[in-house]
Amino acid sequence: MASSVICTTLLIEKSPQALPFGAACIASAIKHFDELKGLVNVSLKAFCLEDKDFPKDKNAAAQYIAEKLSREAARSSGQAIICFSCFVWNIEILKTASDILRSQGIITIAGGPEITAHPSFYKSFDYTVSGEGEVSVPSLITKIINKSEKSDKVIISQSPDLSLIHSPYLDGIIDPAEYEGALWELARGCPFKCAYCYESKGQKTVRMFPMERIKAELDLFAKKKVPQVFVLDPTYNVNKKRAVELLRLIASKTPDTFYYFEARAELIDRELAHEFTKIPCALQIGLQSANEETLRLVNRPFDKKKFVRGLSILNEEGVTFGLDLIYGLPGETFGSFREGIDFAISQYPNNLEIFCLSVLPGTDLFDRADGLGLVYEKEPPYHVIKTKELLVDDMKRAEKLSMACTSFYNSGRAVPWFNSVCRLLKYKPSKVFELFYEKYTDFCQQICGQCGHENHLEIEKLQLDFLKEECKLKNLQRYFPAIEDIVRFYGAISRTTDTGKEECLSLNYDAEYVASDYASDIRYFVENLKPKKCRIQTFMNKGEADFRFIK
């Protein structure tokens, strides 16, 4: 009489970046655990907040999950066990679902980052497991089924030997083709101990997965023609030699797959940057703050010269990268936060992601929050409400800049021309965001609330309306036709890159000049080039967007 074990989670969105990887890892570990073979049937079941039939009300959502899981568990004649993978965004719903299931005699186990943070806190589960669960969860289930030995209700896991962990991709627990992408673990751990991160209290070591497993997963990604892979390592380039080796392996096995990495700018050199150019990829780099005192307070090493040099190398090599900023950090004033935005944009990132600080339980920052003057939400997502330096109104102003940056710069695909326009208008980037939000408040809020499904042409129109008015206020009307050309040209190129669809444009200036380095200095461009109307058509040329003149 086999027991039923269901590994489940609630995903925040439907995307390759949000597949149920943690729950799949536990399912894989249970499947291969020698003492459980023949005793359990293990399955993976994921829910998503974006599913059409998923309830919006939290209590209704919990009831929905419990009913689905209860129905599936009833197919087994043995003991039913549900393993929940818990995160900040799903814990409240999952603990209510667990209460319902437990009332039906179903045993529940919870793990994941939110449980690891404070495993003794949540009483809605029969058992909680802190840390990596690939050994401790199957061992716990063995005890539950055999009833021969009582287990602690709270289990603190030891880090398993990564060479003994099975891949949920290779054993068929999860199919990356179903999610049109994959989350990929190459290592666990981080050498840095940033106070706001779950790694802040862990061992300052990085454990690598065996190269044999990595090669086999790459072969599977190639076979499945996986279009994109998100590498989960918090610092991919912490070991440069291995990073280079893996990039070369990726290039040889999956040359058409797009990869996303998290990296440290200070550790970028020419050789590594050049290897990144050999595969389709993008890097996301944590700046968090440009205030060195703030970074010191959160134990984040920062060498500004090395940081800038690393980004310069990426720009010179043509590697796409984005930056992250956090508002609400200790020691950060509203003024220094704005300086962080201005510094970040000056490095020409492809995107600038700006987040509110979450004081996560289980982190070093959580322990020191009161002493640092951080006032934050006591329930998930634990956002900072105010600090000594950033009062409530300042936090709201920072959020507005974040929304404007997302709308105007990120969703507006403004990187090719944004700094050039700022120089002409003599505005700092944060000033542009402030003014844009003031004029288009509802639009900024709408864009940031719809998970990126924005209409770029609509944003482009607002950008041009905004810039036209600012040029008029500054008596710079003569420069606007050039600005209009540059914005529309790069907008069309970006849309063709995304969709492959051709677009026709009428321009005020010769497109060859609009697409050249001359356009980086708009004042020089207008004062030294005569208008020359032309029509162009964008098209895809050997995998890249290009243009041709048309009559």
Q: What does each of the 551 residues of the chain score in pLDDT, given as a tens digit?
A: 689 999 999 999 888 888 999 999 999 999 999 999 999 999 999 999 999 899 999 999 999 999 999 999 988 778 899 999 999 999 999 999 999 999 999 999 999 999 998 888 899 999 999 999 999 999 999 999 988 677 789 999 999 999 999 999 999 999 999 999 999 999 999 999 999 998 777 667 899 999 999 999 999 999 999 999 999 999 999 999 999 999 999 999 999 999 999 999 999 999 999 999 999 999 999 999 999 999 999 999 999 999 999 999 999 999 999 999 999 999 999 999 999 999 999 999 999 999 999 999 889 999 999 999 999 999 989 999 999 999 999 999 999 999 999 999 999 999 999 999 999 999 999 999 999 999 999 999 988 866 444 699 999 999 999 999 999 999 999 999 999 999 999 999 999 999 999 999 999 999 999 999 999 999 999 999 999 999 999 999 988 999 999 98
CB 30 within 8 A of CB 82: no
Determine which helix (DSSP H) or strand (DSSP E) holds 346, and give its type and residue range.
helix 334-346
What's the residue count for the chain? 551
Name residue, tokens 């600080």: 357
Residue 345: phi, psi to the nearest 5? -65, -30
55: helix, strand or coil: coil
| CA nearest neighbour of 498 among 297, 304, 226, 258 | 258
Beta strands 3-11 and 80-85 are parallel
| CA separation, residue 417 to residues 64, 72, 106, 283, 510 (Å) | 48, 54, 58, 21, 17
Name residue, tokens 């603990």: 95
- 373: phi > 0 → left, psi -120 to 50 → alpha, else beta; which? left
Residues 6+ apart with CB under 8 A from 124: 95, 96, 98, 99, 102, 108
Q: Give the end-to-end CA distance of the chain in Å, rounded to a whole number.
A: 77
CB 63 within 8 A of CB 100: yes
Residues 6+ apart with CB under 8 A from 180: 16, 226, 227, 228
Residue 490: phi, psi to the nearest 5? -70, -30
Cα gap 492→279, rounded to integer Å:
24
What digits encode the pLDDT tens for the residues 340-393? 999 999 999 999 999 999 999 889 999 999 999 999 999 989 999 999 999 999
Cα gap 176→21, rounded to integer Å:
10
Cα gap 217→233, rounded to integer Å:
16
What digits encode the pLDDT tens for the residues 441-487? 999 998 886 644 469 999 999 999 999 999 999 999 999 999 999 99
| Other Cβ atoms closer than 10 A to 516 | 11
What digits encode the pLDDT tens for the residues 295-311? 999 999 999 999 999 99
Cα gap 424→529, rounded to integer Å:
16
Name residue, tokens 């003024």: 335
CB 359 within 8 A of CB 88: no
DSSP-assigned letter for residue 26: H
Token pair in block for residue 195? 């106070």
Cα gap 319→526, rounded to integer Å:
30
| CA separation, residue 299 to residues 199, 208, 362, 365 (Å) | 12, 24, 16, 10
356: helix, strand or coil: strand
521: helix, strand or coil: coil
Cα gap 173→381, rounded to integer Å:
30
Determine which helix (DSSP H) or strand (DSSP E) holds 65, and give its type and residue range.
helix 58-73
Beta strands 207-208 and 187-188 are antiparallel
Residue 285 confidence (pLDDT): 98
User: What is 175-357's CATH superfamily?
Assistant: tm_1862 like domain (3.80.30.20)
**Domain residue ranges of the chain, discontinuous segments joined by +:** 3-160, 175-357
40: helix, strand or coil: strand
Query: Partners of 127 in the beta sheet?
Result: 109
What totals of helices (H) and strands (E) does the chain contain, helices first? 20, 19
Token pair in block for residue 331? 């020691």
Residue 214: phi, psi to the nearest 5? -60, -45
Residue 548: phi, psi to the nearest 5? -140, 155
Q: For the chain, percent helix, then strand, then coil, each to nearest 5?
A: 45, 20, 35
- The fold for domain 3-160 equals Rossmann fold (3.40.50)
Separation of CA 491 from chain center = 24
Token pair in block for residue 74? 């009833």
Residue 501 confidence (pLDDT): 96
